[in-house]
Amino acid sequence: MPFLGQDWRSPGQSWVKTADGWTRFLDEKSGGYVGDISSFCKKDDHNKENLFNSLNYDVAAKKRKKDLLNNKAKTQYFHQEKWIYVHKGSTKERHGYCTLGEAFNRLDFSSAILDSRRFNYVVRLLELIAKSQLTSLSGIAQKNYMNILEKVVQKVLEDQQNIRLIRELLQTLYTSLCTLVQRVGKSVLVGNINMWVHRMESILHWQQQLNNIQITRPAFKGTTFTDLPLCLQLNIMQRLSDGRDLVSLGQVAPDLQVLSEDRLLWKKLCQYHFTDRQIRKRLILSDKGQLDWKKMYFKLIRCYPRKEQYGDTLQLCRHCHILSWKGTDHPCTANNPETCSTSLSPQDFINLFRF
């Protein structure tokens, strides 16, 4: 450097790096200068311009960071109101979650299972995740999944309702875990293998608890189902959407056994769940040469999915891409928000996060 061997902090002296090397010049107080002051000033103006542009860039970067923080705070606010954005593009207006695990963590399914209208919806969603989507969940989402499942089991043990539904869910999950645990070391499960073995033991314990349930007969001695006129009994049975419930009901009393075999009852059940084309492919004739609708129903459910029916479903706003439970308002900017909502089945909800 040019100031080696001397005190470069001497008053009135400055060193500037130019195209020709380091140049010393004096300020006005020192009474003189060394080098081309005009070229330095021009260069100084250029440096100031670069500095100004750099400051503008920093301000813009800070603004983007502030907007991002505000958007995160806004998303958290939506979470508190049971809303959630669905990721549909990398635009500033639509910030959300692009994985099933993130959405599963944000939506409050723990509270949803306490609502009888949403209980079957949540159980069906848990079953679909257990079948094929368990490995797509993050470690936190998998832990949340098991916590929700435990709450579902405890609710069934207390209410003594939907026992068969939860048995099937637990059996599906246990079968899936048995397959996944055998593939340990291939990054299919998050966490220690001993943790998953413990969870499988919990599932077996829950299954045992459900098998030991003793349903107590109510002490009510008023009018019972069998005391109703036959037309009312048949009308009530037509509202059952699961053929297994009809079979169970027919085992209660001999009179109900006769009603549960009604051909028209099973015909309506088949027509409710399946299309005419599906029915024509699975025709079964009885010994009397008539269509055996009961056998056809159980054959059809082995070949095709049944029609799903829920009291309450998740809604997707096609305008702002917000997920919310039916009946929950969100700050939609559309002119007619009611026309923008679409009901999502559990399978539709999972399909939102398939890319």
> What pLDDT, on a 0 to 100 scale, did the predictor assign at position 65?
58
pLDDT in tens, 156-204: 999 888 899 999 999 999 999 888 877 655 556 777 778 888 999 999 9
Q: What are phi and psi of 15, to 5 degrees?
A: -115, 130
> What pLDDT, on a 0 to 100 scale, did the predictor assign at position 173?
93
% of the chain at pLDDT higher than 90 = 18
Q: Is 345 left (phi over 0), alpha (psi -120 to 50) or beta?
A: beta
CA distances from 246 to 5, 119, 273 (A): 103, 21, 15
List, run by run, the mean pLDDT of 10-residue segments along the chain (355 residues). 50 63 56 44 47 50 57 42 47 51 79 86 92 86 90 91 92 90 65 84 94 77 81 87 88 86 91 90 85 91 86 83 76 75 87 77
pTM over 0.85: no
Q: Which two tokens stand for residue 19?
A: 């195209």
Determine how many CB atoms are found less than 10 A away from the CB of residue 82.
16
Contacts of 173 (CB under 8 A, 6+ apart): 126, 127, 130, 134, 149, 203
Query: Distance between CA 339 and CA 150 in Å, rounded?
Result: 37
Buried b (16+ CB within 10 A) or exposed e, 282-295: beeeeeeeebbbbe
Q: Are 234 and 246 in contact (CB under 8 A)?
A: no
Q: Is 82 left (phi over 0), alpha (psi -120 to 50) or beta?
A: left
pLDDT in tens, 84-100: 555 444 333 333 556 78
> What pLDDT, on a 0 to 100 scale, did the predictor assign at position 11?
52
Query: Distance between CA 251 and CA 264 in Å, rounded?
Result: 19
Buried b (16+ CB within 10 A) or exposed e, 227-254: eeeeeebeeebeeeeebeebeebbeeee
> What pLDDT, on a 0 to 100 scale, did the predictor assign at position 26?
52
Please name the residue that has the structure tokens 């539904």: 165
